[in-house]
Amino acid sequence: MDSFLSLLHGFETALSGWNLLYCLLGVTIGMLVGILPGLGPVAGTALLIPVTFGMDPVSAIIMLAGIYYGSMYGGTITSVLINVPGETASVITCIDGHQMAKQGRAGAALGIAAIGSFIGGVTAIVCLALIGPVLANLALKFGPPEFFAIMMFGLVMLIALVGKSVIRGLVAAAIGLLLSLVGMDPITGLVRFNFGQTALLDGFDFTILAIGLFAFSEILISLEQSIESMKPAKIGGLMPRRDEWKPSFKAIGRGTGIGMMLGLIPGASAIIASLMSYTTEKRLAKDPSRFGKGAIEGVAGPETANNAHSGASLIPLFTLGLPTSPTVAVILSAFILHGLTPGPTLFTKNPDFTWGVIASMFIGNVILLIMNLPMIRLWAKIAAIPYKLLYPLILIVTLTGTYAVNRSLWDVAMTVFFGIVGYFFRKLDIPIAAIIFTFVLGSQIESSFLQSLATSQNGMLIFFTRPISSTILGIAILVLLLSIFSGIKNKRMKIASDVEM
């Protein structure tokens, strides 16, 4: 009851003129940041911290938090329209979202994504408000072994991305991991696999890899068809079909749960939440073969999950001062800059602040929903531009953008290179989403693994002697075995039914 009253008081703060403006500014910038590949929420938030120096702490955090969850809304747009993930977690949305766009259903994809994001975001905030402190204590028990266990769990989720051949799926995962190792080792500073190129000192850029492997390969594959005959897919309605609402909402519900759970866990980034939601939807669907070809649950679930994740990941920040992801770490630095100490006392010592921010997150999500839904018409129109004009424009814009990321022509060359690689991989049924996924997680996997072993007294056993990590690893192994088992069962059933014919 107390919390409720404080929340109402918080709304008072959040709805005050300036704060409302900052919220609007934050979420708008967040959306732009999400739309622009190459500018992620980490950079966007960091760039704007100096702007907040003169501001009230409440206003500052309202704006920065707005950028954070706003970017989750924006990332969807380019993922659906041009198969380029605007920020890492949107990679999963590319898979079915872009397929839907190609079928003229970009509106439906963006619409359900906006709705799901809203539901996921708001639910996570409600939980933050009500049971935040209680849940957050669990996060304290997480150390490197637990992070590694979560990563392993995430890797098991990759099964949903695998096509015909499990081996090729694993090859993709291994390639992604290997690519992530290029550059400076985070622990010792040793530069690895740069083969003498100074441009590779920092390793490969996510944007370059994503644009090359996803967008360029997509364009190259489309070129095989006669472009003249490619009629722009009719914008088939801006909302999902009647029979799609129910499965979408189920996916949204599950996505919210998954996103929130993983948001609380330090080290589990949004991309894991998205992937886990995708995997879950694919497993639970009546007809899993629809996935990868434009299944709306493949958009609804992951999009909800990543918004729920971003909301939930602020819980450990508020209650423990524990940042669960790079963007949240930047927000933490903003806290400190403004003289606030996040932690258990934040709720009691600065109730105005905390509840003000929480209320503003509600408002921010509403603003985003209002901004996004009408804009879908606009985005869908863009998707309907004749492909023969669209693809050169996409190419020049992305070629420009990839240069701008690091002002490096090497990056542009790399994008083209990975475009070719991506093309071949897609032809060979090697899942590129798996490559990106392990690439994103690669350095974290290695550092958590090495840190665990460095502190362990009994070598690799540490993962199994600690209660939380062993539980997570146990679940991961269980899921793995179940998948293998059901895979074999399916094959047997197929063979049996073939024989019966």
Partner 1 sequence: MSRPIAGIIASIAILGVSLIFLFQSFQYPYRGSYGPGPGFFPTWMSGILLVLSLLCLIEALRGKNQSDEPWPVGQGLRSLLYVLGCLIAYVFLIRYLGYIVTGMIFLFLLLIRHYKWYIALIPAVVAPLALYYLFRNFLGILLPEFRF
Q: Which is nearer to partner 1, 238 or 404 (CB)?
A: 404
Task: State whether residue 402 is helix, strand or coil.
Answer: helix
How far apart (Å, rounded) are the C-alpha atoms in residues 351 and 333? 20
Q: How far is the CB of 144 from partner 1 (least distance, A)?
A: 11
Residue spans of beta strands (DSSP E) within 89-168: none
Q: Which is nearer to partner 1, 170 or 366 (CB)?
A: 170
300 and 250 in contact (C-beta within 8 Å)? no
Q: How far is the CB of 269 from partner 1 (least distance, A)?
A: 19
Q: Which is nearer to partner 1, 20 or 399 (CB)?
A: 399
Residues that bind partner 1 (CB under 8 A): 163-165, 167-168, 170-171, 174-175, 177-178, 181, 185, 187-188, 190, 192-193, 195, 216, 219-220, 223-228, 388-389, 391-393, 395-397, 399-400, 403-404, 407, 409, 412-413, 416, 419-420, 424, 426-430, 446, 449-450, 453-456
Q: How far is the CB of 102 from partner 1 (least distance, A)?
A: 16
Q: How far is the CB of 446 from partner 1 (least distance, A)?
A: 5
How far apart (Å, rounded) are the C-alpha atoms in residues 52 and 50? 5
Q: Which is nearer to partner 1, 188 or 348 (CB)?
A: 188
Q: How far is the CB of 245 from partner 1 (least distance, A)?
A: 33
Q: How far is the CB of 162 from partner 1 (least distance, A)?
A: 11
155 and 164 in contact (C-beta within 8 Å)? no
Task: Report residue 293: phi and psi, to 5°.
Answer: -120, 10
How far apart (Å, rounded) are the C-alpha atoms in residues 49 and 67? 11
Side-chain-side CA neighbours of 470 within 13 Å: the count stands at 7
How far apart (Å, rounded) are the C-alpha atoms in residues 285 and 257? 17
Q: Which is nearer to partner 1, 392 or 474 (CB)?
A: 392
Q: How far is the CB of 212 from partner 1 (least distance, A)?
A: 11
Q: Which is nearer to partner 1, 2 or 224 (CB)?
A: 224
For residue 192, the cross-strand partners are: 183
CA dihedral 190, 191, 195, 200 (to 10 degrees): 180
Q: Which is nearer to partner 1, 413 or 461 (CB)?
A: 413
How far apart (Å, rounded) are the C-alpha atoms in residues 76 and 371? 14
Q: Which is nearer to partner 1, 133 or 163 (CB)?
A: 163
Sign of torsion over alpha carbons 9, 11, 16, 21: positive
Q: Which residue has the tokens 């990679």?
A: 91
For residue 191, the cross-strand partners are: 184
Written as one letter, the residue type at 338 is H
446 and 456 in contact (C-beta within 8 Å)? no
Q: How far is the CB of 294 from partner 1 (least distance, A)?
A: 18
